[in-house]
Structure 1
């Protein structure tokens, strides 16, 4: 296994947010994390990439406990695209994306030709090369998201964690971003709200509710009308998309039942 969380429990002021959660991700798997608001998706990811530390449980990246490894070594292997990425100083897009090269460099080492080429390629892949000289703070929410993805690409990590990466993006850029991530020869774990996007792109899906894993499997195994009713409280029909051959969910309003 490439990325493993074992029996994670996390609480804030006596309120349990994660309850004995385990996740196992194999090399180059594209794994989705879905669940209602407040189910624990973001908290689980933050525990897995060391922004939070669980009260119980362990996380292993390439068989190494991430809580016992230097942050720089973890950053060589693991890239993160969070929901919110505050930038406290004025940076151009190009300078911000170049920060993705930091784990691979010594203190005060200048960018090499290879670094510059990787940064440019990452911006091109994420569709932000034309913004390279713009100030990050001047960008729209969707543009900022794509710049942060470009920075993660510049890390050239073998594992990428993304928390709601399609937020703030229009439909075209949602699909372009998901196509890009799926095309990378890396392991991916991504929290998603859009269940049809999860169905289209994920190899496996974990379903969280009230801080616990309640289902795991392929999109066909997980995204069933009964589970959607039990976990999300919605009525739905699930069919096979004629083009993608993946599950496609049709939601049904209460007024039509």
Structure 2
């Protein structure tokens, strides 16, 4: 189960947001998109799950142009957790998570025992079983995020697109959520704000700047002092953590870096 963007360009009101962007997410890979605010991460993801249509280029899901596939076929293979949680009506948590079963059902088909069990497991996996009967509107921002992840799990898609999945979550729930996603062994592409989270969980990272891919590779290859300074405008000390074996970043305030060059 693969997902690929091929030379995708996209503009809004004659302003080019993406410039011939190509990324490839192989089966079972966890791929991260990082970059400053406004670099095009969310816009790229929206093109990849067909909320937006590329001005040029294409998005390929399982070797077929995503624009030539039905919405139901896409939903069986690809689930999305976006930054926003737009819910027009005040559903309960259970009802909202149950909507993840829709692509697998015929028109007006009622939920069966299998559906109830899948929803129950999705609630358990995301740690929100105790919220099952709560109104969605009564939840905190972090709780709402976990509900949307549970809905994606109930969808049972093999590709998961995440747009800033750890927003509004405290550090414990950030790590719990990312641990959960990693243990699901799905094909994942995620726009991430926290570079240490990206370093810890991603197999491959693509760095965007002003709508272009400036580099990509493993966390060790991408998260370098030069990239951090050139793309993000920050100085950082980068070490390999002795427990995780992954890079971790310690940011250094500019006042301490005057006259210091990074290689």
Q: Could you tell me the TM-score, scaled by structure 1's length?
A: 0.99
**What is the CA RMSD across the aligned residues, in angstroms?**
0.7
Match of residue 72 from structure 2? 72
Structure 2 CA distance, aligned partners of 1:166 and 1:78?
A: 19
> For residue 158 of structure 1, what is the aligned residue in structure 2?
158
Residue 27 of structure 1 aligns with which residue? 27
Q: Unaligned 5+ residue runs, structure 2?
A: 258-263
Q: Deviations over 1:176-231 (max 9, x none)?
A: 00000000121000000000000000000000000000010000000000000000
Partners of 2:85 and 2:45 in 1: how far apart? Answer: 15
1:145 aligns with 2:145: yes
User: What TM-score, normalized to structure 2?
Assistant: 0.97
SS at match of 2:143: helix
Match of 1:47 in 2: 47
Whole-angstrom distance in 1 between the partners of 2:31 and 2:138: 33
The total of aligned residue pairs comes to 257
Q: Does 1:211 align with 2:208?
A: no
Per-residue CA deviation, residues 57-77 of structure 1 (Å, 9 max, x unaligned), is: 111111111111110110000
Q: Which residue of 2 aligns with 1:38?
A: 38
Where does the alignment leave 5 or more consecutive residues of structure 1 unmatched? none
Q: Distance in 2 between matches of 1:77 and 1:185?
A: 14
1:120 counterpart residue number: 120
Distance 1:90 1:250 in 2: 42
Runs of 4+ with deviation above 2 angstroms: none
